[in-house]
Amino acid sequence: MSSSPSSSVVEARKALAHRLAVLRKDAGITAHELSVRCGWHPAKTSRILSGKQAPSEPDIRAWCAASDAHGQIPDLIAAARAVESMYTEWRQMERNGLRAAQESVLGIYERTRLFRVYASRVMPGMVQTREYTTAVLRSIQRDRVVVDDVDEAVDARMERQQMLFSGRQRFGLLIEEYALRAAVCDREIMAGQLGHLIAVGARPFVSLGIIPTGCDRLHLPVEDFYMFDEDEVAVELTSGYLRVTQPHEVAGYARTFTTLSGMAVRGPEARALITAAITALG
């Protein structure tokens, strides 16, 4: 499983490219002839067919016109937009502020019944206190977001939490011990957050595991990810937000979650690590 967006996105592009290749073959023309008809260099056709380049909507229209397949244009454009939506840079996702970014994922949160979350750097958003969320989102806003709507974004996340913890959903949470001690806020806020984590972990529909520092990380991902049932995985990369929907890749994340789960401690041992982190705050 790759930690970059290339694996999922390129595979989806290849599926789209296969459909375009079929249109060309059905038209009885070579790739070179298609390039001539479209008015671009043959290398561009090669990149599209290999999945290295995503065709733009004008590219799709030109391709279909060259292949005498005008009726395929709407469906292919819809498929291309679906591919494009798989990976979104943070600057694009957050261009209108952080509240919009919070609300953009509300639909899938409402549909999901089993959440599986792996968090290595900060607490998962669904178990954050208001003060901790404010500190995290304020840091993000200062670093990369022009619009300052942090208060509204925090309200949106807190509202979503009320829905999530109504008891209708189940949660499997795996948190690295490092995240218990990461200095993302002041000591008082962190102590409150850790106390809240203990309380959340005691709920009957929550399975909380803490992965102790020092466990072997060979061949395992470093990115945080959220699994929504068996339908989709959201991966928080340094550069952006990746949606994984290919069934075999979703299954890969499920296997990774199971592996990580085997490293975690639970119950009294997990609470002891959290309590130690609180004590270390002084």
Domain extents in the chain: 6-85, 88-280
What residues does 235 pair with on adjacent strands?
225, 242
pTM over 0.95: no
Rounded distance between C-alpha atoms, residue 257 and residue 272, angstroms: 22
Q: What is the CATH number of domain 88-280?
A: 3.30.870
Pick one of 3.40.50.2300, 3.90.79.10, 1.10.260.40, 3.30.365.10 as the CATH number of 6-85: 1.10.260.40
- The one-digit pLDDT tens for each residue of the chain (282 residues) are 334 444 567 677 888 999 999 999 999 999 999 999 999 999 999 999 988 888 999 999 999 999 999 999 998 988 888 777 777 778 888 888 999 988 888 899 999 999 999 999 999 999 999 999 999 999 999 998 889 999 999 999 999 888 778 888 999 999 999 999 998 899 999 999 999 999 999 999 999 999 999 877 666 666 899 999 998 999 887 777 888 887 778 888 999 999 999 999 999 999 999 999 999 998
What residues does 176 pair with on adjacent strands?
211
CA dihedral 269, 186, 226, 222 (to 10 degrees): -80
Name residue 109's amino acid: Y
> If we measure between CA atoms, which residue out of 205, 250, 224, 202 comes closest to residue 125?
224
Secondary structure (3-state) at 234: strand
